[in-house]
Chains A and B, each alone.
Chain A
Amino acid sequence: MLHYLLSRIISLLLSLAVASLVIFFVIEIIPGDPASFMLGLNASPETIASLKAELGLDQTPLIRYFDWVSGLVVGDFGISYTYKVPISELVVDRIQVSLPLALYALLLSTAIAFPVGLIAASKRGGTADFGIMGFTQLGIAVPNFWFAMLLVLFFAINLRWFSAGGFSGWDAGFWYGIKSLTLPAIALALTQASILARVMRSALIDTLSQDYIRTARAKGLSQRRVLIKHALRNAMIPVLTILGLQFSFLLAGAIIIENVFFLPGLGRLIFQAIIQRDLIVVESVVMLMVFAVIVVNFLVDLTYAMVDPRLRRSG
């Protein structure tokens, strides 16, 4: 187990290192001169020079890279060019919206997908299965931002149960915050829940055809008990894989959904930064998102080992 952990940690650090190199290369090297890029065509040479000095662009790329990375490690993301405040402050502010939203959506999607997948698998070929398969097929096809618009139209404009968008912060109270994240979370969760339920169903059906299920049946376990006690845990491996992948889709989806609901999250931050050509913000926030995805996949890898004893020994 220790060796598995160690090898996973090493690969985690390696992925982070390579990812940061890629991002640095795309943002700081490809444009040639990030300062004049950020300021646009009409900037005077003086402003460009002063921005260059401010960003430390007179240094060699290698030194700039190490400066950037060592800054990231201690939480110093640099200073936003447009907002003129430390990016870490912006991030801390925005993450209070994005992280709860992602978790909320993940929770919703698993809470829906698990029982639904289980029912479909156990009633395979029946009406319930047919209905679930049809519904999830539709769920996958609906673009989440369009679904979000429909939710706004129906629940916010017609029924007035929720506000159409915006987020007033957690100061107004926990439930108030949750309420304003509910429609966005539902919009995000629909597709993911549909995918997860289908994966769950097919993983369970696959597992149910294995030899050890027959052994368990020969022991006298009922169909239902076999499903819960033997099939479920073995089916968790593909389900976990998808769950890990979904996190990155949730993160990406959030960039769009935050725009639909005017939520002041990381997605909106990065989106505005692109429009304002604030490369420093883009660079650091992208790195943060990639970091989150890599760490989540690392955690998924660790859970694999918990589920599957065969992974515990080999690296």
Chain B
Amino acid sequence: MTLLSVSGLNVSINEEVILKDVEFIIDQGEVFGFVGESGSGKSMTALALMNLLPKGSDRTGQIILDGKNLIDLSEREMCSIRGRDIGMIFQEPMTALNPVMTIGNQVAETLIIHGGYSRSEAMTIAREKLARVEMPPNRFSPDLYPHEISGGQRQRVCIALAIALRPKILIADEPTTALDVSTQAQILDLLKLLVKEEQMSLLFITHDLAVIARMADRVAVMQTGRIVEMETTRELFQDMKHDYSKKLFAASNYIPETKTKTGGGSFLEVSDVYRAYKLPNRRILDKQNYNVAIRGVSFSIRKGESLGLVGESGCGKSTLSRTILGLDPLQKGRITVDGVEVISGRKMPHTLRKKMQVVFQDPFGSFNPRHKVGRLVAEPFHLLAESLSASEQRERVVTALLEVGLRETDVDKYIHEFSGGQRQRIAIARAMVIKPDLVILDEAVSALDVSIRAQILDLLNELQVQHNLSYLFISHDLTVVRAVTDRVLVMQGGKIIEEGRTDRIFDHPQHDYTKRLLQASPRIPTEWVTKETNQGYHTGKLSEKEFR
């Protein structure tokens, strides 16, 4: 039975067209998925349904929920629809809750404002709803404040307040994108269960094809404000029709071209490293507390090798990369690069620093917005023993830019003139400009859309072959790590709990945690992956790429 029917939905913000002729139907109890890259209009569709579009938006078309056209409703009438008939949860659980209100009150508020419940009744129901999202009052008091619980738990609270009145439809806009894989799996399971038991419909929005494959009954693929393909999930994956869907699918499973690598001796040696942070004293006169971020980590990277480092947030991945780069001191252990010991701080010789560079995740925060690209890329020249002349500098910067696929004229531009993918190329150019031996890629492709990600992976691959680089590839995204690394370290709680060749780890994990991680990581069911849609995935590239 049709619950929601949208037709001819057009949205523009300040004259700019955001959605064009969007049309879809959601049945009662159905999970309907929206998938697309950033800017495709999937979130705007959700906000258009809720009439919560940003200021200056214009909305036309029909949104029929239960026989009522929501477009015709006044703001006041919409207020009574929101929260009662349509619930919604958002991407960022860390900021989605009011920091000065208890979680119980925030759930109860939904019940109170739609009338019919006294404060104490509402609190009782709020307790039940929190228990419903697996936050029972005996373990999580409703009097807790948002800062006292984790991100996953906050998302549970958001779900609880969205379903408190059993809305007919729940909209989930990238609800797990900000969460770790295992938390993501739990939240997805919970959503599925709730939808089934409460007989709600779910409109699920994500950029991740694997997540949508797991969640949705039917899927709409969006591109630049239009729905380009709409199909039941199984059919979509087995028989993609639209070029864009195919492209998206191929890109999200992309494995860079095969390469032949020259092997080499051990380049980076990390042996039994400990790193602890001083915690700020909570109480006066307390004894100093420490947070041990890395406890006894040892591994090595050979020349020309790609080593993956996976783990969930807080496992010590980033701290490890900082200690290797000599930015953070270590309490115990030894790190050597090409046989020379890394010492943090000023004492670290430039000749050593010059051998290692880093590319970060955030293509926006990685550059000083006030400097031109030429100067940004030239920054590592500081490490060279002899100073270069201006023309030499420029020449080398241009070479680096050309190598990452940018143009000579880009030297004189500012960073805001570039897109996210281009910025990541500039970051790579900056790392490459002094010809390092080891590049640490700290979530370097995590913030990029899949199609851009595929291009950057290609570029990294080319550079590796050309310069015989070693990569330390740090990521939470198991798919990418699987596609591009030779060996993998799995990190948990500051320790490396499993290590081995990439295909071995992914196909035959030994440690329980690794197993759980792989289990939790969303994957497109293998029987849906047909030859045509799967260009190169699972085609044995890993074995060809074998190291040594």
Contact = CB atoms under 8 A, between A and B. Distances in A.
Direct contact of A and B (CB under 8 A): yes
Contacts of B158: 215
Contacts, number: 90
Interface string B159-173: 001100000000000
Interface hub of B90, B98, B101, B109 (most chain A Cβ within 10 A): B98
Most B-side CB within 10 Å, residue of A211, A214, A219 = A219
Given A219-B82, A310-B147, A3 B282 contact: yes
Nearest to B52: A217
Contact of A219 (B75, B92, B110): B110
A222 B283 contact: no
A295 to B, nearest CB: 20
B281 interface: yes
Contacts of A234: 98-100
B113 A220 contact: yes
Contacts of A6: 283-284
Contacts of B99: 212, 234, 308-310
B145 A218 contact: no
A233 B100 contact: yes
A212 B97 contact: yes
A307 B110 contact: no
Contacts of B79: 220-222
A212 B95 contact: yes
Interface of chain A, helix or strand or loop or mixed? Answer: helix
Interface in B82-111: 82-84, 87-88, 90, 92, 95-101, 109-110
B87 A218 contact: yes
B236 interface: no
A115 B424 CA distance: 48
A159 interface: no
A214 B281 CA distance: 35
A15 B435 CA distance: 54
B95 A210 contact: yes
B44 to A, nearest CB: 14
Given A6-B284, A308-B100, A219 B161 contact: yes
Contacts of B145: 309-310
A83 B271 CA distance: 78
Nearest to B284: A7
Contacts of B100: 233-234, 307-309
B81 interface: yes
B92 A10 contact: no
A27 interface: no
A130 B168 CA distance: 42
B52 A220 contact: no
Interface in A251-309: 307-309
Contact of B96 (A215, A307, A315): A215
B80 interface: yes
A223 B55 CA distance: 13
A84 interface: no
A225 interface: yes
Nearest to A308: B100
Given A218-B52, A218-B83, A219-B109, A212 B281 contact: no
Contact of A225 (B113, B162, B280): B113
B279 to A, nearest CB: 10
B50 interface: yes
Contacts of A128: none
A230 B80 CA distance: 18
Interface in A11-51: none
A216 interface: yes
Contacts of A210: 95
A219 B87 CA distance: 7
Contact of A212 (B87, B88, B96, B282): B96
A314 interface: yes
Contact of A215 (B81, B161, B284): B161
Contacts of B284: 3, 6-7, 10, 315
A212 B101 CA distance: 11
Given A10-B284, A309-B147, A313-B282, A220 B98 contact: no
A220 B114 contact: yes
Contact of A222 (B76, B84, B109, B162): B76
B80 A215 contact: no
A233 B97 CA distance: 14
Contacts of B81: 220
B113 A218 contact: no
A211 B95 contact: yes
Contacts of A212: 95-99
Interface of A: 3, 6-7, 10, 210-212, 214-223, 225, 229-230, 233-234, 307-310, 313-315
Given A214-B90, A221-B113, 18 more contacts: A3-B283, A3-B284, A6-B283, A212-B99, A214-B96, A215-B158, A218-B88, A219-B110, A220-B79, A220-B114, A221-B83, A221-B109, A225-B113, A229-B109, A233-B101, A308-B99, A309-B147, A315-B280
27 contacts: A6-B284, A7-B283, A10-B284, A211-B92, A212-B96, A214-B96, A215-B90, A215-B97, A215-B98, A216-B98, A218-B50, A218-B82, A218-B83, A218-B87, A218-B162, A219-B83, A219-B113, A220-B83, A222-B75, A229-B109, A308-B100, A310-B145, A310-B147, A313-B282, A314-B280, A314-B282, A315-B283
